[in-house]
Structure 1
Amino acid sequence: MKSIFTDEGFSEIKNRLDNLKEDAPRQWGKMTSAQMVHHCQFPLNIILEKEKTDMKPNWFVALLFKKSMYNDKPWRKGLPTAPDFKVTEDKDFDKEKAKLSSLVEELGSIRDKEEWMPHPVFGNFTKEQWGKMQYKHLDHHLRQFGV
């Protein structure tokens, strides 16, 4: 799996995000493109330590799903969204896309950092695991809208 922390993965995500259009038809799910770009901000705000979540560590979930967060297999269509990350209200596409792009840039600017906080549900992640998981989440939702 690619990583948001590599030049290739970072550039790819940035280019795909730049090519995302508000009227892009979703391939699956319920979110609009505006809701999706807002949704994708949550995990970035957490890794950047800008936001806290009430999500609690769940060792059972971690044992079952942790490796799927960063392995080489893309996430399947229609996976359930964590309740804390659900977006149901209307959003301004241009505003939310700009915010997401800024967060991706910010994460890219600190990609050489070696020590990363634990994931709120899955516990300790290495830098490599964090980078793959962030790439994988963004890739999943960009594919959802055909980019």
Structure 2
Amino acid sequence: MQSLFDPNGNRIIIERIDQLTPIVLSQWGKMTVSQMLLHCQMPIKVAFGEMEIKPNWFLKTFFGRSSKKMFIDSKPLRHDLPTSNEFKITHEPDFDQAKEELKALVKQFTEKGPAVIKIEKHPLFGKMTMEEWDMAQYNHLDHHLRQFGV
């Protein structure tokens, strides 16, 4: 399993982000590439303690554990997963700005190490180890980069 804390795993994700262009089309889903770049920043900001979300109690109670297992598994995420309302992007962000901001967030994993994760308890998944945070973030990024063919 690749890791964002590992310089090589981090570099691979950054290189994949760099392959994106403003006109690349998704292979599934409804997001544009610019929306995806902004969307991918949000779970990282949650992990860094820069953004707070409050999932509804029903989802947390009945789907939190199973969702966590899916995100920390080594298998690729399914294409048909719903997007959390807090992470839906309805406007068209500036591509270059969203791309650079996502790369800067990803780089923090190797620059700061596990200390970059500021919260222990994921709002939906519950208590998570640093390894689980890393795996969930890597899998989420990988999922969306594959969505756009990189």
Aligned residues: 147
Task: Give the 4+ runs in structure 1 shifted more than 4 A.
Answer: none
Residue of structure 2 equivalent to 1:28: 28
Q: Percent identity?
A: 40
1:139 partner amino acid: D
Residue of structure 1 equivalent to 2:132: 129
Equivalent pair of 2:27/2:148 in contact (CA under 8 Å): yes
Equivalent pair of 1:35/1:91 in contact (CA under 8 Å): yes
SS of the counterpart of 1:3?
A: coil
Structure 2: stretches of 5+ with no match in the other structure: none
Residue of structure 2 equivalent to 1:146: 149
- CA offsets per residue over residues 107-129 of structure 1, 9 Å max, x none? 33222438752111111111111
SS of the counterpart of 1:111?
A: helix
> 1:4 offset after TM fit, Å?
1.4
- CA offsets per residue over residues 44-71 of structure 1, 9 Å max, x none? 1111111111225613212322211111
Cα 1:26–1:115 change in 2 (3 A) is: closer
2:122 partner amino acid: H
- CA offsets per residue over residues 30-86 of structure 1, 9 Å max, x none? 110000001001001111111111225613212322211111110011311011101
Equivalent pair of 2:49/2:118 in contact (CA under 8 Å): no
Is 1:2 paired with 2:2? yes
Structure 1: stretches of 5+ with no match in the other structure: none
Cα 1:120–1:96 change in 2 (3 A) is: same
Pairing 1:1-147 to 2, within 5 Å after superposition = 1-55=1-55, 58-113=60-115, 116-147=119-150
Query: Which deviates the most, 91-100 or 102-111?
Result: 102-111
Equivalent pair of 1:70/1:133 in contact (CA under 8 Å): yes
C-alpha separation in 2, matches of 1:49 and 1:11: 23
TM-score when normalising by structure 1: 0.91
SS of the counterpart of 1:97?
A: helix
Equivalent pair of 2:48/2:118 in contact (CA under 8 Å): no
Greater percentage in helix: 2
